[in-house]
Amino acid sequence: MQQQMAIDWEKIIKSLMLLCFSILLFYLVISGQIQMYINPRFTVLSELAAVALLSMFAVQFFNSRNSFHVYDHHAPHKLVYVIFIIPLALFLLLPNAALDASVASNRGFNFNSGNLTSAPPGSGALARASAKSADLGESAGQQTDNTGVSKSGPIQVTADNFVRVVDAIGQSPEDYAGREIEMLGFVIRNKDFAPQEFGLIRFIITCCTADASPGGFILKSKDAVDYKDGTWINIRGVIEVDDYDQQVVPVIEATFIERAAQPSDPYVYP
């Protein structure tokens, strides 16, 4: 009889966990918070997982075949299931925040390749974005309009074209020298930056937050010291070509900077 009791508990705990995970996924998808964790392209997988978990809950909870013969000899300690509470507890107890500037500096970028990822010159780590658009076959630096960058007027960097534009400019800064540019991002610094320099970046998420990599430009402004790491700003400026670490890189000479709120979806996706 005692054994029967134990099995019931196990069944209840397992059912409850499945239900909680299912609710967590549904909640993330419905509230849109899923974007804080994974590339929205994979949202449909999370929805399917939530449905699968719900069906697992239903069968686990209502089935007549108990897990008796599975667990009686080598019953796992019931507290094993505490492990499954950890992600749920972290989700509920800790504030929901996007990755901040300290992670960006931890990830160790060199600006030497013309963009903030450390791909070799011309390899265009960020150009993976263009793989999805028709312009993939175009080698960078020949036809600027092929990368989605407007040919005239200020270059507007948006969340949608961020990866393409940043990569195109990073690969062939000479082609864009003298152009005006407007973009939103947050401030980070490398140790070897001059006081009037900082990096203006956003995180690029390919699959999930674990693969976040920063993309953006070096910015020059006499007011640079006013902007702490992690500050979100809107800028307008002119693209110039400069040397950094013996590489030709684009540098934005800022003409206008204003503080901005962190966007509701701070990440950009290729």
Residue 143 engages other proteins in binding (rule: CB under 8 A) = no
Compute the distance between CA of residue 269 and CA of residue 251 in angstroms, rounded to an integer. Answer: 23
Q: Which is nearer to other proteins, 65 or 151 (CB)?
A: 65
Q: Give kind and range of the element (H or E) at residue 257.
A: strand 247-259
| Residue closer to other proteins (CB basis): 23 or 238 | 23
Q: Which of 164, 173, 184, 163 shows the shortest CA–CA distance to 256?
A: 184
Residue 169 or 257: which CB sits closer to other proteins? 169
Applying CB under 8 A, among 5, 94, 134, 194 the residue interacting with other proteins is: 94
Interacting residues with other proteins between 67 and 86 (CB under 8 A): 67, 69-74, 76-77, 79-86
- Helix runs in the chain, H state only: 2-31, 43-62, 68-71, 82-93, 101-106, 162-171, 173-176
Q: Which of residues 207-226 bind other proteins (CB under 8 A)?
A: 207-211, 213
Q: Is 123 in the site for other proteins (CB under 8 A)?
A: yes
If the CB atoms of residues 204 and 239 are measured against other proteins, the closer one turns out to be 204
Residue with tokens 């069944």: 11
Nearest distance from residue 157's CB to other proteins, in Å? Answer: 20
- Long-range contacts of residues 2-9, Cβ cutoff 8 Å, at least 24 apart: 3/68, 3/72, 6/75, 7/66, 7/67, 7/68, 7/71, 7/72, 9/78
* Binding to other proteins, residues 14-73 (CB under 8 A): 14, 17-18, 21, 25, 28, 34, 36-38, 42, 45-46, 48-49, 52-53, 55-56, 59-60, 63, 65, 67, 69-73
Residue 136 binds to other proteins (criterion: CB under 8 A) = yes
Q: Does 246 bind other proteins (CB under 8 A)?
A: no
Does residue 206 interact with other proteins by CB under 8 A?
yes
* 3-state class (DSSP) for residue 105: helix
In the complex, minimum distance from the CB of residue 71 to other proteins, in angstroms, rounded to a whole number: 8
Instruction: Provide, rounded to whole angstroms, the least separation between the CB of residue 195 and other proteins.
Output: 21
| Residue 106 lies near other proteins (rule: CB under 8 A) | yes
d(CA 176, CA 164): 14
Choose which of 26, 40, 105, 262 interacts with other proteins (CB under 8 A). 105
Told to check if 12 binds other proteins by CB under 8 A, we report no
Looking at 111-119, 151-159, 176-184, 253-261, which segment touches other proteins (CB under 8 A)? Answer: 111-119
Q: Which of 238, 241, 234, 204 has the alpha carbon at shortest distance from 103?
A: 204
145-184 binders of other proteins (CB under 8 A): none
Q: Which residues, other chains included, contact 269 with Cβ-Cβ below 8 Å and sequence gap of 6+?
A: 39, 40, 41, 163, 204, 205, 206
Residue from 99, 181, 224, 251 that binds other proteins (CB under 8 A)?
99
Among 30, 42, 27, 26, CA closest to 270? 42
